[in-house]
Amino acid sequence: MAPRPAWKGYLKLSLVTCAIELTNVVTHAGKVSFRILNRKTGNTVRRIYVDAETGKPLDEGDEIKGYEVSDGEFVHIEEDEIEAVEIESSHTMNLDGFVEKSSIEQIYLDTPYYVSPADEVSQEAFAVIRDAMAAKKMAGLARVVLYQRERPVAIEPLGKGMVLTTLRYDDTVRQPETVFDDIEATRTDDEMIDLAEHIIDQKKTKFDPSKFDDRYEDALLELIRAKKAGKKAPKAKAPAKPSNVVNLFDALKKSLNAEGGGKAGKSSSKARPARAKAKASAAGHNRHGSRKSA
> Taking a C-beta distance cutoff of 8 angstroms, is the pair 114, 25 a contact?
yes
Per-residue confidence in pLDDT tens, the chain, 294 aa: 678 999 999 999 999 999 999 999 998 888 889 999 999 999 999 989 999 999 999 988 899 999 999 988 999 999 889 888 888 888 999 999 999 999 999 999 999 999 999 999 999 999 999 999 999 999 999 999 999 899 999 999 999 999 999 999 999 999 999 999 989 888 888 888 888 888 888 888 898 888 888 888 888 888 888 888 888 887 877 777 766 666 777 777 777 777 775 554 444 444 445 555 544 444 444 444 444 433
**Coil vs helix vs strand at 276:** helix
Q: Residue 248: CB partners within 8 Å, gap ≥ 6?
A: 192
**Coil vs helix vs strand at 165:** strand
Does residue 214 fall inside a structural domain?
A: no
pTM of the full structure = 0.74
Does residue 54 fall inside a structural domain?
A: no
Does residue 15 fall inside a structural domain?
A: yes
Does residue 116 fall inside a structural domain?
A: yes
Does residue 93 fall inside a structural domain?
A: yes
Does residue 259 fall inside a structural domain?
A: no
Closest CA to 7 of 173, 140, 118: 118
**CA-to-CA distance for 120 and 58, rounded, in angstroms?**
48
Q: What pLDDT score was predicted for residue 243?
A: 67
**CA-to-CA distance for 259 and 267, rounded, in angstroms?**
20
Does residue 56 fall inside a structural domain?
A: no
Maximum distance among all Cα pairs of the chain, rounded to whole angstroms: 78
- Which domain, by its residues, includes 113? 7-26+85-172
Total domain count, the chain: 1
Q: What pLDDT score was predicted for residue 291?
A: 44
Does residue 162 fall inside a structural domain?
A: yes
Neighbours of 75 (CB within 10 A): 9
CATH number of the domain that 129 lies in?
2.40.290.10
**CA-to-CA distance for 269 and 266, rounded, in angstroms?**
9
